[in-house]
């Protein structure tokens, strides 16, 4: 993958209507990747303290938002802590997006990027 870095803000580099801010708090489900869009992947260390922060930031900047379709393709796995989180690290989101882009399969993409430690599994692995 080719990557460019710059000190400039994405707000200065791309038209607002081309930017989609990915946040687990969005009501909008990412159904497909549009090659004409720019997807912003954010990173937060502690999701309990920063709940809704990425969604608020996107709204303040008048940006479109979307979330990965975790709820649509995965189920909550029983676990001792009853822990379930849709918040992923940047590398996990990147793995999901790049796998989806290559395979056009959300189950394959989510399998690649969502670790079982998040408390979600694909339905075919829920009983294992």
Q: Which residues are catalytic?
A: 46
From residue 47, give the alpha-carbon distance in Å to each of 50, 85, 94, 112, 113. Answer: 5, 9, 18, 21, 18
Going through the chain in order, the beta strands assigned E by DSSP cover: 19-22, 38-41, 64-66, 75-76, 120-121
Q: Is 58 left (phi over 0), alpha (psi -120 to 50) or beta?
A: alpha
């Amino acid at each position: 993958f080719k990557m460019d870095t710059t000190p400039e803000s994405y707000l200065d580099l791309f038209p607002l209507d081309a930017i989609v801010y990915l946040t687990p708090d969005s009501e909008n489900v990412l159904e497909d990747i549009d090659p004409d869009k720019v997807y912003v992947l954010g990173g937060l260390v502690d999701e309990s303290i920063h709940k809704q922060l990425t969604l608020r930031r996107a709204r303040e900047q008048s940006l479109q938002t979307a979330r990965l379709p975790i709820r649509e393709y995965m189920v909550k796995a029983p676990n001792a802590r009853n822990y379930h989180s849709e918040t992923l690290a940047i590398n996990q989101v990147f793995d999901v997006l790049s796998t989806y882009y290559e395979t056009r399969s959300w189950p394959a993409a989510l399998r690649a990027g969502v670790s079982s430690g998040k408390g979600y599994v694909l339905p075919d692995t829920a009983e294992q």
